[in-house]
Structure 1
Amino acid sequence: MVKNYMEIVVDNILKKILPDYSNLCKCEKCCDDIKAIALNNLKPIYVVTNAGNLYAKVNELEIQFSTDIVKELVKAIDIVSKNPHHNS
């Protein structure tokens, strides 16, 4: 199976920082937009692995890349909060 580890790490970190943004819409569309914007600004890390290995590696990546990922997520949150694309 080919998987982009960065997608999983971004998803995990976003779940951790979303509660800090009380005025942010957290609907599925807005969260997907935030992830997409952040992922477009982060280097993908494609690996071939089985599911068990995948989750073991995620923890390593979160520690190694968390600062860059949080930075991109904060930028993406700012963009989406000012320009939500969901229906009101």
Structure 2
Amino acid sequence: MELYNLMEDEVIKVIESMKNDIPDICYCDKCKLDMAAIALNNLSPKYVVTDTGYVYAKANNFNTQFNTDILTAITKAIGIVGKNPRHK
């Protein structure tokens, strides 16, 4: 395994799941990546380098504060990108 930021997968997964909750926003690949970049810049990274570290970090994802932090960062990012998409 190489250096890996587990937070990236979590953020993308949550953005994908929010499509149905906030349908009036563009979710094209460019907008999703912009949302993810904004959210990730406001969250602490979760780097792992071993399979054991990956499992331990994933287990921490069940923490209520962890999930709240991700939802808050993504909601803000969706608002920013929704108001100012980089495409027409």
Give TM-score, length-normalised by structure 2: 0.84
Moved runs in structure 1, 4+ residues, more than 6 A? none
Deviation at 1:60, TM superposition (A): 2.4
Alignment of 1:43-62 (within 5 A): 43-50=44-51, 54=54, 56-57=55-56, 59-62=58-61
**Higher helix proportion:** 1
Instruction: Name the counterpart of 1:27.
Output: 28
> Is residue 2:3 matched to residue 1:9?
no
Name structure 1 gaps, 5 residues minimum. Answer: none
Instruction: Name the counterpart of 1:71.
Output: 72
Verify the 8 A CA contact 1:9 1:61 in the aligned structure 2.
no
Percent identity of paired positions between Structure 1 and Structure 2: 41
Deviation at 1:42, TM superposition (A): 0.2
Between the two proteins, the alignment pairs up a number of residues equal to 85
* Cα RMSD after superposing both structures: 1.9
1:19-64 deviations in Å (ceiling 9; x for gaps): 11111001000000000000000001111024x974x456424322
Name structure 2 gaps, 5 residues minimum. Answer: none
Verify the 8 A CA contact 2:3 2:47 in the aligned structure 1.
yes
Which protein, 1 or 2, shows the higher relative CO under an 8 Å CA cutoff with sep ≥ 6? 1
Instruction: Name the counterpart of 2:40.
Output: 39
Give TM-score, length-normalised by structure 1: 0.84
